[in-house]
Structure 1
Amino acid sequence: MTTDQPTVVPTTLPAPRPAPPGPGPAAAPRSRFLARAFGVTAVLSAAGSALGLLRDLLLARYFGANQGTDAFLVAWTVPETAAPLLIEDAMSFLMVPAFALALVLREERPDGPDPVRQVVRATLPWLLLALTTLSLGAALGAPQLVDLLAPGLADPRLAVTCTRITAITVLPFGVAGYLAAALRAHHRFTAPAGIYVAYNLGILVVLLSCHALWGVRSAAIGVALGSLLMAGLLIGPFLRALRTGPG
C-alpha cells in the first residue's frame, strides 16, 4: 500500500534587483557648475541688452533725427552685419566642433603634440589675414557702399567717414568670435557672455565724453572701440585655456 504524498518542488526566490546607481560624486559639482554658468551667462546677456538700450536712447537724445544720424545708421550696417555672422554664426559652427575634437584628441594622446595648439596654428593666421582683408576692403569701398545703401543721402561724406571707422570692427569681431568658440569648447562661458557688455560700454564711454566734440563720429568711434574691447576681453581667458585645458 502506497500513499501519495505531494511532491515538494524546491523554489528559489529571485535575487533582489540592485538599486539603480545614484548620482556619482562628480554629478553634484557638475550640476553646480552648469547652474552657475547659466546664471552668469543670463545676467551678462541681460546687462549687455540693457546697455544696448541705453546706447540707443543716448543716440536719439544727442543726435535725434538728422543728417548725422542718417550717416551713422548707414555706417552701422557694417557692424550689424558682421557681428552676428562672425561672432555667433560662422565661428560657432566652424570652430566649436574643431576645438572640441582637438580636446578629445588631447585626452587620448597626452604625450604627443597638443592638438589644440595645432588647431590654433593652422587656423588663426589665415583667419587674421582674411579678416584684415575684409576690413580694409570695407574701408576702401566705403564710398561705393554708401551709394549702394543710401543713394539719396544728403551728406554722403559723413557717412563714408563713419563707415570707414566702423569697418575696423570686422577684424576684432572675427577674433572675438574665434576666441569665444575656443572658450566655449573648453567649457568656459563667463568671458564670452560678457563681450556685449564690453562692446556697449566702449560705445557709451566715447558717446558720453565726446559727442559734443566729434558729433555722430563719436558713435562710430565708440563702435570701433567697443569691438576692440570685445576681443581684448577674451585674450587672457583664451591663453589660460590653452595652458590648462577644459574648465
Structure 2
Amino acid sequence: MPDLKDQTISDFGEQWTAFRENPGYYGSADLLADLFGPLLSLDEVKGKRIADVGSGTGRIVNMLLDAGADRVVAVEPSDAMLVLKDNTVPRAERIDYLQVPGDRLPPDLGLDYVVSMGVLHHIPEPAPVVRAAYDALRPGGRCIVWLYGHEGNETYLSLAIPLRKLTVLLPHRLLVVLSHGLEWILTAYIGLCRILPLPMRSYMRSVLAKFPRSVRRLTIYDQLNPAYAKYYTRAEAEALLSDGGFGDVRLYHRHGYSWTVSGTRPA
C-alpha cells in the first residue's frame, strides 16, 4: 500500500484531473489578493520570480502571472501536471514546470517569493518543503503559505472530521455524487449567512458566495477527499516557518478561519 504522502499525491492527481476548470472569481487575481491579505500586495508581485508549490491545475500560477509576475516555477508532483500545462499553454514560455514534490524544489534559484496556497496542510511532514523553499529563495526573499486554521473552525471540524473518516474511503464517482448533494446544503447555508451571524459567516459571504456552484461542489470534494488534512493553530502556523529558519514571521487570520503566514529569508 502507498504511504500517506504518496496516497495524498495520488488523491490530488485524481481530483485535479476531474475538476480541471478555474472559472470566475475562483481563478482571479482578486482572490489571490484575498489569500495574501495584508501580508503581500499584488503590486509586490510585479516583475518577480516566484515558485508555486503544489500548483494543481495551474490556478495560482495563472493568478501570479495575471498579477504581473515575470516568471513562475510550477511545482506539482501528481498527474495533474498534464492539466496544469493545458491550462497555462498561452504563457508556457514564462513557466518552468517541475513534476516533483515540494521538498525537491531545487536550491539556489534566487527566487523573490515561494508561495504555497492550500498545500502544506495536506503534507504529513511539511518541514522539508519549508526548508526547500528557504534554500530556493534569494536573501531577503519571502515565503508565503496559506493553511487551514483550527481557530474559528471548531464547529465545522466537529462535523467534518467524523464525516471524513467515511469519505476518504469512497471511490471518486461516489464522492462526486455526495458533493453534489452537500452543495445544496452549502448554498442554503450561504443564504442564511446573509441574514444571520452564523459560524464562518465572513468566509461564506465574501468568498464562497462569489464562486459558481460547480466550484462550491469542488470545494466540498476538496474537503472530503484527501488522505491527510491538518488544521493549524496560530502557534503551529507560526512555528512552521520560524522553525524552518525564516525571520520576520507574520500571520493573517483570513476571514477568521484560516492562516496566511509570511516569513523572510534573512539577508
TM bucket by the smaller chain?
A: under 0.3
TM-score norm. by structure 2 comes to 0.23
Higher relative contact order (CA 8 A, sep 6+): 1
Whose Rg is larger? 1
Q: TM-score, normalised by structure 1?
A: 0.25
**Which structure carries more helix by proportion?**
1
Structure with the bigger percentage of strand: 2
